[in-house]
Amino acid sequence: MTDRDALFEYLLRLGDNTLVLGHRVSEWCGHAPVLEEDIALANTALDLIGQTQMWLGLAGDVEGEGRSADDFAMLRDVWDFRNLLLVEQPNGDFGQTMMRQCLFDAFHFDLLSGLAGSTDDRIAAIAAKALKEVTYHVDRSSETVIGLGDGTEESHRRMQAALDLLWPYVGEMFMPDAVDTALHEAGIAPDLPALRASFDTRIDEILRQATLVRPDNAYAHSGGKTGVRHSEHLGHLLTQMQWLQRAYPGAAW
Amino acid sequence: MKTEWPLWEVFIRGQHGLNHRHVGSLHAPDAEMAIKNARDVYTRRNEGVSIWVVEAAHISASSPSDKGPLYEPSESKVYRHPTFFDIPDEAGHM
């Protein structure tokens, strides 16, 4: 694998994470339990889609074959996607959505903090811009997890169930492969295992305040960011997200 | 048990140096979430640099039925408007 291939692959991971999660969160538009949360979720989704445009746009530049961010988003199939399994998981109830968001935001914040110091100026600039948005995301999602976890008996039960369901998808975020290692050694990306400590500190404090119990199951699903084994949910998501470009190729407005 | 979040009134300052202005209201479980919700609902288009929220229940308001005794007496007191002074040109716009 050349340096360029590794960088391209890495940028797809960054862009596909924000694309798939952004689409997932946008599924709440018009359906959230209260108006205020509906707007807040739509804002988050739009932040993530905006970040996607930057990451996948840069991926296209690096690849050098004239593919745009839209081409990557709308014209690839499941096996080409490089997002984490966590972000393609279904929304479930509002609590499950916010738990998924909180787990990803905590990781995303540390990742972007590292990328803001990247030796690649283009990556550092995108990360610095995204970091402001994500600082708010993690603030909001962690407060919601705390509020619902330490809320009523029902909300507590739902949040614990969401945590138990999603915990096996946490490990993949911090599992480095050849791409992550190459980018870290080049000074472009942070060391993933080193991010885990900061994640654990933050999440443990959130869970403590939320009166939720961290599962002691260390099992981790994997195969999302390598594209080897996505869950069945990603295909269903893509049929919704891509149908217009598939049905009317090149449609623009 | 009350299942509705309380109502909050939202005040936004558009630029440094201007006053906070009432922009609307929203529901939130507590003050901190009210500020977050206000950020998401009322500052999406770059409207603000500062947010105040106050629980609507804490606002005391004059009663519309007291309109007569409260406000009508001032209608006939034109001498309270400082419009009878000649402003010297050198003073400029006041």
Helix A94-115 vs helix A3-26: angle between axes, to the nearest 10 degrees?
A: 150
Residues whose CB falls within 8 Å of the CB of residue A209, separated by 6 or more in sequence, listed in order: A146, A149, A150
Nearest CA in chain A to B25: A36
Helix (H, G, I), strand (E, B) or coil at B12: strand
**What dihedral angle (degrees, nearest 10) is formed by the CA atoms of A135, A7, A87, A142?**
-20
Name which of A249, A251, A252 is nearest A75 in CA terms: A249
Residue A183 Cα, gap to closest chain B Cα (Å)? 35
A24 membership: H or E segment, kind and range: helix A3-26
User: Do residue B41 and residue A36 have CB atoms under 8 angstroms apart?
Assistant: yes
DSSP for A122-142 reads HHHHHHHHHHHHHHHHHHHHH
Closest partner residue to B32 (CB to CB) among A39, A40, A143 is A143
Between CA A193 and CA A222 the distance in angstroms is: 15
Encode burial over A40-53: b for 16+ CB neighbours within 10 A, e otherwise.
bbbbbbbbbbebbb
Q: Which residue of A has its CA nearest to B36?
A: A140
pLDDT digits (tens, 9 = 90+) for A130-177: 999 999 999 999 999 999 999 999 999 999 999 999 999 999 999 999
Domain positions in chain B are 7-84
pTM of the model: 0.90
Task: Tell me the C-alpha distance between B23 and B32, whole Å.
Answer: 18
CATH class of A3-247: mainly alpha
3-state secondary structure A57-78: HHHHHHHCCCCCHHHHHHHCCH
Q: ipTM score of the complex?
A: 0.78
Q: What letter does residue B84 receive in the DSSP assignment?
A: S
Give B29-84 pLDDT, tens digit per residue: 999 999 999 999 999 888 889 999 999 999 999 988 888 888 888 888 888 887 77
Could you say which DSSP state residue B66 is in? Answer: G
CATH, domain range B7-84: 3.10.20.520
* Both tokens assigned to A132: 């402001």
For an interface test with A, the pick among B37, B46, B51 (most A C-beta atoms closer than 10 Å) comes out as B37
pLDDT per residue as tens, chain A (253 positions): 789 999 999 999 999 999 999 999 999 999 999 999 999 999 999 999 999 999 999 999 999 999 999 999 999 999 999 999 999 999 999 999 999 999 999 999 999 999 999 999 999 999 999 999 999 999 999 999 999 999 999 999 999 999 999 999 999 999 999 999 999 999 999 999 999 999 999 999 999 999 999 999 889 999 999 999 999 999 999 999 999 999 999 998 7
Smallest Cα–Cα separation from A171: which of A112, A227, A110, A224?
A224
Return all residues near A253 (Cβ < 8 A) that are at least 6 apart: none
| DSSP code string of A155-187 | HHHHHHHHHHHHGGGTHHHH---HHHHHHHHTT
B43 min Cα distance to partner chain A (Å): 11
**Residues of B in Cβ contact (< 8 Å) with A147:** 29, 33
Rounded-to-10 torsion of CA A126, A191, A230, A140:
-60
Residue B37 has its nearest CB partner, among A40, A139, A147, at A40
Which among A34, A35, A140 has CB closest to B36? Answer: A140
The answer to whether B5 contacts A43, with C-beta atoms less than 8 Å apart, is no
| Nearest chain B alpha carbon to A137 | B36
pLDDT at B1: 59
Exposure string (b/e) for B61-79, b if CB count within 10 Å is 16 or more?
eeeeeeeeeeeeeeeeeee
Domain boundaries, chain A: 3-247
Nearest chain A CA: its distance from B64 CA (Å) = 30
Contact across the interface for A36 and B28, Cβ inside 8 Å? yes
What pLDDT digit, counting tens, does each position of A103-126 carry? 999 999 999 999 999 999 999 999
Residues of A in contact with B41 (CB under 8 A): 35-36, 39-40
B13-41 as b/e: b if 16+ CB within 10 A: bbeeeeeeeebebbbbeeeebbbbbbbbb
User: Measured between CB atoms, which of A43, A136, A143 is closest to B33?
Assistant: A143
Chain A residues bordering chain B (beta-carbon distance below 8 Å): 34-36, 39-40, 43, 136, 139-140, 143, 147
With tokens 């911090």, the residue in question is: A174
